Amino acid sequence: MTVTEPAAPAAEAARRVVLEAAGVTMRFGGLTAVDDVSMQVREGEIVGLIGPNGAGKTTFFNCLTGMYIPTEGRVTLGGETLPPKPLKVVRAGMARTFQNIRLFANMTSLENVMVGRYCRTSSMALTSILRGPKFRREEAATRERAQELLDYVGLADSAEILARNLPYGDQRRLEIARALATDPQILLLDEPTAGMNPKETEETMHLIFKIRDSGMAVVVIEHDMRFIFNLCDRVLCLVRGTVLIEGSPGEVQSDHRVIEAYIGGDDDEEEDA
């Protein structure tokens, strides 16, 4: 795979902290799925989150995005504590994709992206029902922005194709376009290359670099180690809900504990909590 080298990190003081998780813990009854995990993500930075199955990666993502209310700890976006409600988290400036594709299968690509954009519109129910002037203006602006985002992710010619008829890799890119339609400060991607062939994986890597180069922060969960170590500025490895190591891709991939966590992971084969 031919890749573009990740951008050299800027001086710490020059880059604003976009997302901060401090001591996040998530318990389900007697099970601690995430245990005192802390993380900072700065603007224009790609951070990877790795770990064997059952390590708590997706649970941690759910705590960040308001799907779960952490048992302990705090999540802030731009210095403000995030409300534990997914819609409010999106409006605050965080967007995500999921392990399993969650598109509206019988809507076109353009319509799927427009759905993501509606969190930035202000027309009330009555205006929408009556299709008044304000609604028509916002509808036109939403359609225009959705087409721009399809162009951005390489789906310019797929606007009128139903989502279910797109190739798998294009469906993944459509999910990213829909997330970008919310105007996020930070984008969280949960296994964005799962099921992709090498060409689709490389295209996804370059798309993420493109998003990063726009100044946006990105956090990525991924099991493809080659992909994650070529992509990220920093990597956190979770094992049994705790941070095993955080560092540069080189530091993490050479740490013997990370190797042992994957090779010796026979007792971790349950799905992420």
Residue 135 has pLDDT above 60, yes or no: yes
The pLDDT of residue 40 is above 80: yes
- Residue 120 confidence class, pLDDT cut points 50, 70, 90: low
Token couple for 66: 């308001």
The verdict on pTM exceeding 0.75 is yes
CATH H-level superfamily of 1-93+184-273: P-loop containing nucleotide triphosphate hydrolases (3.40.50.300)
Length of the chain: 273
Specify the pLDDT at position 126: 40
In this prediction, residue 273 has a pLDDT band, given cuts at 50, 70 and 90, of very low
Q: Are 85 and 66 in contact (CB under 8 A)?
A: yes
Query: Over the stretch 189-229, which tens digit does the pLDDT of each residue have?
Result: 999 998 899 999 999 999 999 999 999 999 999 988 899 99
User: What's the pLDDT at 6?
Assistant: 52
112 vs 53 pLDDT, higher one: 112
pLDDT of 99: 85
pLDDT for 122:
60
All structural domains of the chain with their residue ranges: 1-93+184-273, 103-181
Q: What is the pLDDT of residue 128?
A: 45
Which has more confidence, 101 or 123? 101
pLDDT at residue number 269? 42
- The pLDDT value recorded for residue 268 is 42
CA distances (Å), origin 203, targets 28, 83, 108, 176: 38, 34, 22, 13
Q: What is the pLDDT of residue 119?
A: 73
For residue range 145-187, list pLDDT tens digits in order. Answer: 999 999 999 999 999 999 999 999 999 999 999 999 999 999 9
